[in-house]
């Protein structure tokens, strides 16, 4: 399958991402052309191998068990043979370990124990959670460990290769391999972002909040709008969510709008009443997000203290009522019935500093599959 190297997309502010500002890799800094193997033909591995192929490396082996894995490998890496994991390591100079986080440590231990790891072999995992310590058994066998986590949601289709253009990668490696790690990311069209070993769990948690939890919130909102009789909830939400994301990336907490940020306790109480009636499974999540939003709005001076007291009182009463099974008070009436997405009339919604060009993309998941 012929694919051209994608052009990095414009970022949320209409500019190309920072990857375009990175000078071209000089020949003496460029990794030698490598044979590439993939252990775990999930959504991520075949896409990364296909991207490396565009840079001149040569995929030679892939392992996968499920029918979906076989189809993905065939679509993205045609004519590359499917072989057992140990055979992948026997054939490849650079091995991508693209398995679920919880399976990674066991896989590495097993490969090292069976002698499958070769000295000088580049062993790359794509987990956001782990740095290179998880590869220690293979490192002791002579492997060169790299952690390259693409901050992107993956579909398991050829479009993923295009999306890698301008995608940030969380990079962790020994100091002596840092140049090679960053060069590989740049060859895939990505943007390397150094993450310390000790910071990997926090880094991954941040991406899960921003991407994985976002999907849950959007899916929940779509369901509620359908219940309310909206025929095309995706069309309704699209412009609102796009503007909210753009404003948040530019302005952070200054972009907060809606009844919680305004301190409309009566409106929040009414929301909870309706959610309890139509979608009781959504109440706990709504309360948790409302409290977090109120705390942030108060800390940044967006929510007046006197209004925060009433609002937090309603949220506390609602939570107490949920626990006891008693109805919660509705709170005082709202003084401002502007739509959820509209700015408060005494606060601009988009006048904060520009968000830097190297902000996170989505994750996925691995999130979808941003590992």
User: Is 13 inside any structural domain?
Assistant: no
Q: Residue 316's pLDDT band (boundaries 50, 70, 90)?
A: confident
Range of the domain at 84: 18-202
User: Is 223 inside any structural domain?
Assistant: no
Bridge partners of 148? 171
User: Is 36 inside any structural domain?
Assistant: yes
Domain count of the chain?
1
Residue with tokens 């942030």: 296
- Quote the mean pLDDT of the chain: 83
What CATH number does the domain containing 73 carry?
3.40.50.720
pLDDT-wise least confident of 212-226, 230-244, 308-322, 340-354: 340-354
Q: What is the average per-residue pLDDT within 51-75? A: 94
User: Is 294 inside any structural domain?
Assistant: no
Q: Residue 325's pLDDT band (boundaries 50, 70, 90)?
A: low
pLDDT in tens, 259-300: 999 999 999 999 999 999 999 999 999 999 999 999 999 999
**Between 345 and 302, residue with greater pLDDT:** 302
Q: Residue 129's pLDDT band (boundaries 50, 70, 90)?
A: very high
**Between 192 and 329, residue with greater pLDDT:** 192
Q: Which 8-state DSSP code applies to residue 353?
A: P
User: Is 293 inside any structural domain?
Assistant: no
Per-residue pLDDT at 14 exceeds 60: no
Q: What is the average per-residue pLDDT within 153-166? A: 93
User: Is 49 inside any structural domain?
Assistant: yes
Q: What is the average per-residue pLDDT within 357-370? A: 37
- Compute how many other C-beta atoms are within 10 angstroms of the C-beta atom of residue 344: 17
Residue 234: C-alpha distances to residues 8, 246, 282, 331 (Å) = 27, 18, 19, 31
User: Is 252 inside any structural domain?
Assistant: no
User: Is 278 inside any structural domain?
Assistant: no
Q: Are strands 191-194 and 168-172 parallel, antiparallel or unpaired?
A: parallel
């Amino acid at each position: 399958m012929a694919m051209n190297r994608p052009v990095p997309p414009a970022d949320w502010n209409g500019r190309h991402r920072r990857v375009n500002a990175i000078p071209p890799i000089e020949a003496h800094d460029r990794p030698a052309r490598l044979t590439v193997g993939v252990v775990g033909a999930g959504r991520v591995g075949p896409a990364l191998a296909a991207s490396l192929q565009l840079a001149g490396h040569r995929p030679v082996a892939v392992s996968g068990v499920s029918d979906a894995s076989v189809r993905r490998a065939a679509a993205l890496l045609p004519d590359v043979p499917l072989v057992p994991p140990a055979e992948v390591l026997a054939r490849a100079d650079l091995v991508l370990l693209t398995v679920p986080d919880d399976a990674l440590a066991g896989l590495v231990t097993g490969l090292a124990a069976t002698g499958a790891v070769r000295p000088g072999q580049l062993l790359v995992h794509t987990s956001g959670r782990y740095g290179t310590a998880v590869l220690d058994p293979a490192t002791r066998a002579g492997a060169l460990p790299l952690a390259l986590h693409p901050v992107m949601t993956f579909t398991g289709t050829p479009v993923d290769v295009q999306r890698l253009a301008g995608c940030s990668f969380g990079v962790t490696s020994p100091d002596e391999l840092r140049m090679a790690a960053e060069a590989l990311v740049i060859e895939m069209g990505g943007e390397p972002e150094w993450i310390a070993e000790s910071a990997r769990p926090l880094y991954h948690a941040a991406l899960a909040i921003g991407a994985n939890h976002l999907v849950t919130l959007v899916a929940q909102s779509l369901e509620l709008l359908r219940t309310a009789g909206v025929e095309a909830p995706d069309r309704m939400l699209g412009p609102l969510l796009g503007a909210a994301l753009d404003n948040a990336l530019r302005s952070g907490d200054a972009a907060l709008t809606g009844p919680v940020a305004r301190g409309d306790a009566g409106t929040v109480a009414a929301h909870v009443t309706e959610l309890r009636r139509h979608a009781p499974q959504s109440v706990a999540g709504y309360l948790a997000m409302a409290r977090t939003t109120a705390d942030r709005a108060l800390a940044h001076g967006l929510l007046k203290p006197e209004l925060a007291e009433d609002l937090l009182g309603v949220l506390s009463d609602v939570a107490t009522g949920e626990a006891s099974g008693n109805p919660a008070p509705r709170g005082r009436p709202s003084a401002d019935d502007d739509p959820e997405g509209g700015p408060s009339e005494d606060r601009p919604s988009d006048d904060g500093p520009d968000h830097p060009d190297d902000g996170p993309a989505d994750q996925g998941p691995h999130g979808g599959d941003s590992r």
